[in-house]
Amino acid sequence: MKPITATEFLKNSLTDLVDLFPIIRVRYEFDAKADVHCIEVTPNHVYQFDDNFKTWESNFILTFIKLYKDQNMYFFSDDAIIGITKPAFELSGKQYTYEVTS
């Protein structure tokens, strides 16, 4: 059986994540210059303050590191200095309604 790529693993896992947290949206982009998988989680209050999300994220990061030792990954929210400019994919939970206004 052919192992899945880190990107495939991330997409599968993030699909499960939006099912677990239906009010969130995740966007993914691979930054080739920094050699890092970038994952944006919105809304910020889930990313910053939801203990269940923090537990999921910690466990997920440990699993990712174990499976893809040569890969880098970064989670952030919509208030980060960096951002997603060209998402490879975007996944929204069934209850996601948050929109950033500027």
At 12, the pLDDT band (50, 70, 90 cuts) reads: very high
Report the distance separating Cα 91 and Cα 101, nearest Å: 20
Q: Are residues 43 and 78 in contact, defined by beta-carbon separation less than 8 angstroms?
A: yes
Indicate the number of domains in the chain.
1
Strands 73-77, 36-42: pairing is parallel
Residue 96 lies in a domain: no
In a domain, 98, yes or no: no
Q: How confident is the model at residue 3 (pLDDT cuts 50, 70, 90)?
A: confident
Q: Mean pLDDT score of the chain, rounded to an integer?
A: 91
Res. 23: pLDDT tops 60: yes
* Residue 22 to residue 38: CA distance in whole angstroms: 20
Parent domain of 15: 6-88
Residue 1 located in a structural domain: no
CATH of the domain at 58: 3.30.300
User: For residue range 45-68, what is the model confidence (pLDDT) as tens digits?
Assistant: 999 999 999 999 999 999 999 999
pTM (predicted TM-score): 0.89
Give yes or no for residue 98 having a pLDDT over 90: no
Nearest to 28 by CA among 73, 67, 93, 59: 73
- Is 56 within the bounds of a domain? yes
Q: From CA 19, how far away is CA 45, in angstroms rounded?
A: 17
